Structure 1
Amino acid sequence: MKNEMASSPGATKAHFRVLDGWRGVAALLVALFHLNLYSAIYPLDFVRNGYLFVDFFFVLSGFVITYSYADRLKTLDDWGVFAIRRFGRLWPLHVVVLLAFVAAESAKAVLASRGASFYLPPFTGANSLDTLPINLVFGQSFGLIPHLTWNPPSWSICAEFWTYLVFAAVLVVSSTWLARFRFAALVLVVLILAFSVLILILFSQHGMDASYDLGFVRCLYGFLVGHLTYRLFQVTPKAMLDSRFPELAMLILIVEYLSTAGRGGTSFFAPLVFSAVVFVFAFEAGPVSRLMSNRGNDWLGKVSYSIYMWQAFIIFNFVDRPVSIAEKITGRVLTTTEGVSSALGGEAGKLIVLGGQVLPIVATLLFLVFLVAVASASYYLIERPGQKLFARLAQWRWRQSPASARPVGLAR
């Protein structure tokens, strides 16, 4: 498929290769943010503010979903088929990772019954059984539970699924009941966007670091900014950004912003900053895009969802627990809780301190390599089969709809 774009306004392209690559890079940076292993990388402000890359995912999703579906969401049947396809994109991997956490807790329960002790008893706190139903129905970003549960990063996936449905509903309503109003969809998007920003500013206690409580509102904000970004991209000639400077400027902007944003008022600008980044790199017109146009980055983009979803499981079970076992066997203290604030909670509330300079960096790199390897297997064994299954369900749903109302292209 071609990656080039015509220079005329409104031209479209088959695939945003560089943006997909950035999705993979962002997923790894979020994993670095969550990794509770002290190294020369850990204290960098750019890494400690890495939670904001979740907003990059939201903005990018709004951009890509608008490109892929916005002009084809016209009826309730369109909405139904779209919902099935998006559910199939997210839920299969979500539920498999959730089951992996349940299996790990079950193993803990067996060992605990034989006298083993753990930082947290099995099936307690964030991993209590009564929170499973809410996780299964994508409900952990509405404040129904006052903390992160099971697979902590999955709050954003849940928020994104419901945001998909709201966005699609806006387009369907604008094309049916409000069809007489030329800018109905734009007005609705702007109103929802403004409401989301207002709610975050008024009620978020830690800036943009909202998850289990206001995660859905945070996602709406980023996603709708991404939607507007694509609309701007549609009408912008490529020649306006056909130089090396915009991309280099975006790199400087990302590093500077992520190094200073923190969790105060400045963090609320994250979707706008990432909107500029997505807009510039969508044109693939500079040296950074050429550098990123390779198979390695293509692959990171493909497996980015699996990278994001497996990170916590690997940290809990292949980083924290082996270190805890090593402490018990050797009697050496390898962790500290002093001054540690964990984004994942649970056993990640400890900071692993191996000592030295080289060993922590090597361990960090090994973690990233292992994570990508697991994600690659997950992509082939879980993501792709799940997508194909729900694509067939969407095709069946499309065939059940009246011929005159069949969604054009959504079942493909």
Structure 2
Amino acid sequence: MLLDRGTTLGKNVGSASDRFQITNSCQWPEPDMQTLQSTREAPHFVALDSIRGIAALSVVLCHMTWTSVVQSQSYVQNSYLMVDMFFVLSGFVIFYAYGKRISSGLDFSKFMWLRFWRLYPLHFCLLIVSLGIECLKALAQWRFGIVANNPAFSSNNLSSFIGNLFLVQSLHLFNKGTFNEPAWSISVEFYTYILFGILVLLSGSKRVVLIAAACIFGLSLAALVPLSQKGLAHYTYDFGIVRCLAGFFLGVLTFAFYERLRSSNITNSRPRLIGCFPLVAITTFVLFLQLKSPGYSDLAIYFLSAAVILSLALTPSSGPTRLLSTAPFAWLGAISYSIYMVHDSVVWAVNQTLRIVVHAKVIHLPLYETPVLEPHAAVGLGAVVITLILVLIISHFTFVCIEKPFRDWSKSAWPIVRARLLPKTATPN
């Protein structure tokens, strides 16, 4: 997240109980009802939501499987790294929300209950859509003799369906991406949540959590060094968990650094200097994606993502932060998880239209492992625009009809679940 709404803590697209309140205080929130109620009522930091939405749209452009003037841009070709930004952002906001709120088995159960129902319903729906696509491919092959690049039910078979059903499709159990391929990041992030929750539960102090986070980040980054020789884009269903661990726990450390800077009152002592931070960080981030080549340089995405997140969190009054907090960007952030999850199916549908209806030529490009289509320049650009419009419309629908209802239900249903768990977790006098 893949995939919570920036500071609405709880994907990519978060929950009311997870909202990030930017205040002058850097104290950890106490897990009492008064604090939780005030957190729900406080406005969340919209700019980080918006950054997630922009990143999700960048991933959509990156995954389009036909040539166009848009796909020729290095920024778009390198936007596979936006997923690593998702991981850093998730670590930042999840640590704020739950760093001091998982002190018992019941707290851990609530944390995972909310995480599961935040991620899984949309994942399951898109898994069924992907299964339907496989059925359509089989029907087209049987009835019309049309064979897809990836034949029906070849890699997307029963075993990979079960893997996706249990969110283990990206734990190096399969030899390629399966079904709704963007969901690989949801798989690894879910199990990273489990590790984080256990770590906070067992640590007993913030200091121990941060030491452990630093160790996990350091080890994960070291493991990524040999893997990044040909670029991080090649590691999703196999070593994607390492990418997630590195990004998520750097996000944890970034929030701790943010808290330290806020307590030092640096934003008030040097307002002009700090006010320039977001523009510099965002510009550097964009230039990096536009100018870099795949390879070891991919690892810089973690630190650049942390800089962008930190700069926006520190400067709620800066120009870039205010711009990202406007209504259009806020809406984009709200549906960012849906954008990320639904786009693969939309891209597939547009690709088939170009291939079967427009008869676009199939070509091979060095940057793509599978063949891509080469339609007329105007047709390719039009397909990009249509795809973006369809993704936004469908994402709004899935957010309103799937994400939000299940998110709200999970919160309202927790007291009932808690009541059932209490007899099992209560300690005898």
Q: 1:111 to 1:235 in 2, by over 3 A?
A: same
Deviation at 1:183, TM superposition (A): 2.4
Deviation at 1:170, TM superposition (A): 0.6
Letter in 2 for 1:190: A
1:41 corresponding residue in structure 2 = 70
Of 232, 236, 255 in structure 2, the residue corresponding to residue 211 of structure 1 is: 236
Distance across 2 between alignment mates of 1:8 and 1:173: 26
8 Å contact from structure 2 (residues 346, 391) kept in 1: yes
Q: 1:286 to 1:404 in 2, by over 3 A?
A: farther
Letter in 2 for 1:324: R
1:380 is the counterpart of 2:397: no
- Secondary structure of 1:390's match? helix
8 Å contact from structure 2 (residues 229, 296) kept in 1: no
Deviation at 1:350, TM superposition (A): 3.2
Deviation at 1:363, TM superposition (A): 2.7
- Secondary structure of 2:209's match? helix
Among all aligned residue pairs of Structure 1 and Structure 2, give the percentage whose two residues are the same amino acid: 29
1:339 corresponding residue in structure 2 = 365
Of 246, 266, 277 in structure 1, the residue corresponding to residue 297 of structure 2 is: 266
- Secondary structure of 2:293's match? coil
Distance across 2 between alignment mates of 1:75 and 1:203: 37
2:254 corresponding residue in structure 1 = 229
Q: 1:281 to 1:121 in 2, by over 3 A?
A: closer
Spell out, residue by residue over 1:169-206, the C-alpha distance to the aligned partner (whole angstroms, 9 max, x if none). Answer: 1100102xxx6xx7222221112212211222244553
Distance across 1 between alignment mates of 2:208 and 2:305: 26
8 Å contact from structure 2 (residues 192, 245) kept in 1: yes
Of 75, 79, 94 in structure 1, the residue corresponding to residue 104 of structure 2 is: 75
Deviation at 1:266, TM superposition (A): 1.2
Q: 1:20 to 1:130 in 2, by over 3 A?
A: same
CA-based RMSD of the aligned residues comes to 2.5
1:312 corresponding residue in structure 2 = 344
Deviation at 1:386, TM superposition (A): 2.1
2:38 corresponding residue in structure 1 = none
With structure 2 as the length reference, what TM-score do the two structures score?
Answer: 0.84
Distance across 1 between alignment mates of 2:134 and 2:424: 51
Deviation at 1:126, TM superposition (A): 3.0
Distance across 2 between alignment mates of 1:303 and 1:161: 19
Deviation at 1:143, TM superposition (A): 1.0
Spell out, residue by residue over 1:111-130, the C-alpha distance to the aligned partner (whole angstroms, 9 max, x if none). Answer: 33323312246533332232
8 Å contact from structure 1 (residues 242, 285) kept in 2: no
Distance across 1 between alignment mates of 2:49 and 2:93: 10
Deviation at 1:233, TM superposition (A): 1.2
Distance across 1 between alignment mates of 2:129 and 2:218: 39
Q: 1:268 to 1:152 in 2, by over 3 A?
A: same
Of 198, 203, 209 in structure 2, the residue corresponding to residue 169 of structure 1 is: 198
1:193 corresponding residue in structure 2 = 217
Spell out, residue by residue over 1:257-276, the C-alpha distance to the aligned partner (whole angstroms, 9 max, x if none). Answer: 11233331111121111000
2:81 corresponding residue in structure 1 = 52
2:326 corresponding residue in structure 1 = 294
Q: 1:215 to 1:9 in 2, by over 3 A?
A: same
* 1:338-377 equivalence runs, <5 A: 338-342=364-368, 349-356=370-377, 358-377=378-397
Name which structure has the greater RCO, CA cutoff 8 Å, separation 6+.
Answer: 1
8 Å contact from structure 1 (residues 241, 285) kept in 2: no
Distance across 1 between alignment mates of 2:417 and 2:338: 27
Distance across 2 between alignment mates of 1:134 and 1:28: 27
Deviation at 1:144, TM superposition (A): 0.8
With structure 1 as the length reference, what TM-score do the two structures score?
Answer: 0.87
Distance across 1 between alignment mates of 2:21 and 2:123: 34
Q: 1:161 to 1:192 in 2, by over 3 A?
A: same
- Secondary structure of 1:125's match? coil
Gaps of 5+ in 2: 1-15, 30-41
Deviates more, 1:149-158 or 1:277-286: 277-286
Gaps of 5+ in 1: 407-412
Q: 1:163 to 1:377 in 2, by over 3 A?
A: same
Letter in 2 for 1:382: I
8 Å contact from structure 1 (residues 200, 207) kept in 2: no
1:276 corresponding residue in structure 2 = 307
Deviation at 1:391, TM superposition (A): 2.8
Distance across 2 between alignment mates of 1:221 and 1:257: 19
8 Å contact from structure 2 (residues 102, 201) kept in 1: yes
Distance across 1 between alignment mates of 2:424 and 2:163: 37
Deviates more, 1:396-405 or 1:82-91: 396-405
* Number of residue equivalences: 389
1:394 is the counterpart of 2:393: no
